[in-house]
Amino acid sequence: MSITAEQVQKLREHTGAGMMDCKKALTENSGDFDKSVDYLRKKGIASASKKAGRATKEGAVQSYIHGEGRVGVLIEVNCETDFVARTDRFKQFVRDLSMHIAAAAPQYVRPEEVPAEIVAKEKEIAIAQMQAQNKPAAVLEKIAEGKVQKFFEDTCLVKQAFIKNPDQKIEDLIKETIAGLGENISVRRFARFVLGEGIETTSSEEAH
């Protein structure tokens, strides 16, 4: 049977599980809501959102170098205990995030970190691009909001599609990992370095 977006959203809001997990649960259980909830609980996925408020003071700082030293990433990911920080799954998760950042080049961890003036500017540009189409103000506003969400998907780590699985967003990967490890996990910060980035080239250097 066909699973609707509304069914997926309802299950996601109820369980806190990722969209792909919810869709799989509904598909496996022929769209039955209660059975899908039980399915997610048995896998430990539905409990992930309940762990989200717990303190994360342990974790790891991971470095990743790509392209023979041309791109480097430094990331801090936190968890609740040193025990989890030392597990292979946590280490692989941090490494996957590092590799993703190297490839996808996000600028922020989450939308809340994007300066308000940048969001306002993106919205202003989106509206300006469409004003010539003579659409009603309410329609322009809605389209502009969609453009801002697309900006978040392009620039914010948690909203990006995971490079190893484009059908899964990083925020859903985090929830899946929380469920699997049984602890809250938080991506605190990262830095991405590209060799030569920001260095001005003189005309004499360009000639060579």
pLDDT of residue 38: 83
Cα gap 112→93, rounded to integer Å? 23
- pTM of the complete model: 0.70
Class of domain 50-111+156-194: alpha beta
Cβ pair 69, 195 in contact under 8 A? yes
Cα gap 203→208, rounded to integer Å? 9
User: Which residue, 61, 19, 55, is CA-closest to 36?
Assistant: 19
Per CATH, the number for 115-153 is 1.10.286
Cα gap 72→191, rounded to integer Å? 8
Domain locations along the chain: 5-46, 50-111+156-194, 115-153
Cα gap 21→177, rounded to integer Å? 12
CA 177, chain centre distance (Å): 13
Q: What is the pLDDT of residues 153-206, one digit of tens each?
A: 999 999 999 999 999 999 999 999 998 888 889 999 999 999 988 787 655 555
Which CATH superfamily groups domain 5-46? Ubiquitin-associated (UBA) domain (1.10.8.10)
